Amino acid sequence: MHKINVLVAGSTGYIGVQLIKLLVKHSNVNIKYLCGNSSVGKNISFYDKSLRLKKLPKIIKFNKSLLNKIDLIFTALPNGEAQKISKHLLNKNTLIDLAGDFRLNKASEYLKWYNQKHSAINNIKKSIYSLPEITGEKVKKYNIISCPGCYPTSILLPLIPIIEKNLIKTNNIIIDSKSGYSGAGRNIHNIKKKKNLYESLSAYGVGFHKHNSEIQQELNIYSKKKITFTFTPHLSPMFRGILSTIYVDLNNGTTINSLENTLLRKYFRSRFVKIFKTGSLLSTNDVINTNNCHIAICRTKYKNKVIILSVIDNLIKGGAGQAVQNMNLKFDYNEHKGLK
């Protein structure tokens, strides 16, 4: 069986470790290099004991010469780092980025939302923002693949199909999202050490969270007009999972059944997106440790207003699992391979 040689850069963060745990079970993957900075010389099992029985390389520092020996590099690095690596890619290399470096189509938007200049502007047009259920096999044409953020994944999967069909008003969408603290990375324990992270719920990035940018970009693309929405993220006292609660107004003539049927038709063949019956009260517990997204529409006391619930595991469907899904599409494996 043909195997691709893989390098994981940023292997010790929550996303990086989760990615490795998925890749070791994928029969077409050979993990050739694990890269980090402060972790050089350590075994990855130091960060997750469940990996101690796996034959994995020790963590080394990334250098561009490693690209000669690999087919695919996953980057789970701080924003800006994948841009640097992208400038050294060989024709044989594919880069799948789990950070924000190639999520935006304009360098000016990247500067605005990430507060740093894009250092690989020429590679933006060579990349694709790939939400697998939406972009599908288009990913095969690109060697730089950008995985959506965790919040946008939970938001775009329910909204894109109904916005494409012009079923809802697009001038006042309200999005309230709650995530487990793993979504903020390992440093969250230092940043929030004076707050009771494990017993409190806190809003952050109010009005200006960087994920606004990709949500805006993608909704505008699929609606063919500018969408107006308000997005507020929260950290919840749980390790993993996202629940997005989306408040929308129906266009004249739109019913809950038409919303639900649109989503059912869109995701009829999807292995990972499940549409539940109207009024289902979804929980993050139902999707933890899976690459699934569960969606349900709920009625409100107002006939023309509905609430859409969407739940994912931020580390898998919102991160490592989606990256593996994109890899499978790119290399022509079964889309669900390595993803239970």
150 catalytic? Reply is yes
Residue pointed to by tokens 């020790």: 58
Could you give the CA distance from residue 171 to residue 228 in angstroms, rounded to a whole number? Answer: 5
DSSP 285-331: GGTTTSS-EEEEEEE-SSTTEEEEEEEE-TTIIIIIHHHHHHHHHHT
**Residue 56 near residue 74, CB atoms below 8 Å:** no
Element (H, E) at 83: helix 81-86
Which of 64, 77, 78 is closest to 116 using CA atoms? Answer: 78
Catalytic residue among 35, 147, 150, 293: 150
Amino acid (one-letter) located at 319: G
Residue pointed to by tokens 């999202």: 177
Give per-residue burial for 225-248: e unless 16+ CB within 10 Å, then b: eebebebebebbebebbbbbbbbb
Could you give the CA distance from residue 74 to residue 317 in angstroms, rounded to a whole number? Answer: 16
DSSP state of 149: P
Burial degree of 336 (CB within 10 A; 0-12, 13-18, 19+): middle
Burial degree of 290 (CB within 10 A; 0-12, 13-18, 19+): middle
CB-facing half-sphere around the CA of 138: CA atoms within 13 A: 13
Which of 99, 131, 129 is closest to 116 using CA atoms? Answer: 99
Residues classed as catalytic: 150
